[in-house]
Amino acid sequence: MPEYYLSLDAGTSGGKAVVLDDHGYVKGFSKKPWSQHYFIPADLEPYGSEFTAEQFWDILLQTTKEAIFFSRISSRDIKAVTATSQRHGCVFLNNEGISVYAGPNRDARGLEVDTEEFMPNEEVYEITGHGLPFLFPLARLLWFKENEEEIYDKIRHLLSIDGWVNFRLTGNYTIDDTAAAETLLFDIKTRNWSDKILTEFDISHEILPDKYEFGQVIGPILPDIAEKLDLNSHTPVVMSAADTQASIIGSGGINTNTLGIVAGSTMPLQLIVDRPIIDPTQNIWTGAFVNNLWVLESNAGSAGDVHKWFIDSVLTPLNVDNPYEKFEVLVLSQPPGSRGVSADLGPQIFSSQSMLSVPIGGGFSFTPIAYSFDAPVDIASFSRSLIENLGYAARANSEQIQELVGYSFDSVFLVGGVSRSKAFIQILANIMNTEIKTYLPEGASVAGTLASMIGTGKYNNLNQAVKVISDYSIYYPQEDQSDEYESLYPEWKELYQRSREDE
């Protein structure tokens, strides 16, 4: 008899619930957008952002009920529950476990805080592997301390968003290393809360959650939640990982020297390494992975967002049937180079020290060939150039990681919503001139299933559990197109650099 597991995902764009079987296949799925519910607090335009915790919790419960319904299984057959979420978002709770602040990853109120009054940014980076501080929960804590002291005095618990979901499920305050490393309160080398940062920034250790490992049982689901969802009363809730790392795990990438490309709303690239490598240029982030491993991250920024924007803005208004399928056809109808059209729109070459920089140029560019009679520019040229732009950005960010470590990667895994585009996968393989492995776009949910199977004793560890992921799709580079991209890629980099010369 198959076994079933429930994975909750509090993402940037929406709340999602997925029911999967013990082979990692999706049986039921529901997602509801919630980014429209983010709001900007007074006096924090345009960079502040919050959400109402109770509203988002209700959305997660609704998607859970729908996913179970669509799976056509009995809710009592669900063996375990996990949660993952967007990184850098956080929830602050009072002594009663009630939210006094809930903010997504886009909340940049930390810009108003001068963290260097407490510690130089370079030293923070050396300890945490991350910069600039304004993005992270540390800076938000300081903002409340300086601007909303009444709220700050009520803060008793700092949780990642998935930690908050797990709290709502179990009543326990927990976090794993992958999420802890995104708080700017975590020593990436020792994999413990940084006493130095806590002391220098005058933050109490008491507000920090207990650390749990991937696959470790947090506790049984609370009786009232079990009743609402019609789950067994002692259904275990199991620790998973932050969404980027979870996505890579759920694509099958768990070994060192594996590059994971998570092409969702944004496109972080992470290389799994066996030690905490700190970039001397401080361009790349160093984060935590499971199994006592680390990751090096070069984040390309907007990917799925710009992909969706183009389709919704250009194809959907034309009343095209199945606009995403039409987009695929348009992309594949064009040769490498998109008949002289180049795009610099959305993704970036990551630098954690210049994340506030805005390019002075960008958009679509044309070469003289674009106007020729034999190969006129049309919507297909723009479509392919947009996808090539994503591929070029992925290559540039992967090369930045490769330059730091000094060696090539053993394997490359692609996951995330944009991996539904077969055209993108093939073009990416051609641009990077390497094999690309894909499994399911819902990699983070698959990782939740792997964690659940470890937590319930079906497997002893992740190395065993990951073997359920076996039927990869592998895309091989096409030699003729890869050769063309070897000359086109430097042209894109030149265009990219030119639009940023005066930053």
Q: What is the CATH number of the domain that holds 336?
A: 3.30.420.40
Are 13 and 143 part of one and the same domain?
yes
Are 89 and 229 part of one and the same domain?
yes
Nearest CA to 102 out of 113, 92, 110, 112 is that of 92
Convert the pLDDT of each residue in 32-82 to its tens digit.
Answer: 999 889 999 988 999 899 999 999 999 999 999 999 999 999 999 999 999
Question: Which residue bears the tokens 């490393």?
Answer: 181
Which one of 244, 264, 288 terminates a domain?
244
Are 237 and 155 part of one and the same domain?
yes
> What 3-state class would DSSP assign to 218?
strand
How far is residue 100 from each of residues 51, 54, 85, 184, 300, measured CA to CA in Å? 11, 11, 19, 20, 32
> Is 145 part of a structural domain of the chain?
yes
Are 326 and 234 part of one and the same domain?
no
CB-CB contact of 49 with 40 (8 Å): yes
The β-bridge partners of 78 are 4
Q: How many domains does the chain have?
A: 2
Question: Which residue bears the tokens 């929406």?
Answer: 14
Please give the model's pTM, rounded to 2 decimal places.
Answer: 0.94
Tell me how crowded residue 223 is: count the other CB atoms within 10 A of its CB.
10
> Is 298 part of a structural domain of the chain?
no
CB-CB contact of 367 with 385 (8 Å): no
CB-CB contact of 304 with 324 (8 Å): no
Question: Which residue bears the tokens 């003289």?
Answer: 368
How far is residue 87 from each of residues 105, 170, 244, 349, measured CA to CA in Å? 6, 21, 8, 20
> Is 120 part of a structural domain of the chain?
yes
Are 179 and 100 part of one and the same domain?
yes
Convert the pLDDT of each residue in 341-371 to its tens digit.
Answer: 888 888 999 987 766 555 555 688 876 665 6
Interaxial angle between packed helices 422-432 and 379-405, expressed in degrees from 0 to 180 and rounded to the nearest 10: 50
Provide the residue range defining the domain that includes 375.
304-346+356-393+485-498
Convert the pLDDT of each residue in 424-475 to its tens digit.
Answer: 999 999 999 999 999 988 999 999 999 999 999 999 999 999 999 988 899 9
Over 80: is that where the pLDDT of 16 sits? yes
Nearest CA to 254 out of 480, 467, 14 is that of 467
Are 163 and 234 part of one and the same domain?
yes
Buried b (16+ CB within 10 A) or exposed e, 263-286: bbbbbbbbbbbeebbbbeebbbbb
Are 98 and 20 part of one and the same domain?
yes
Convert the pLDDT of each residue in 124-134 to its tens digit.
Answer: 999 999 987 88
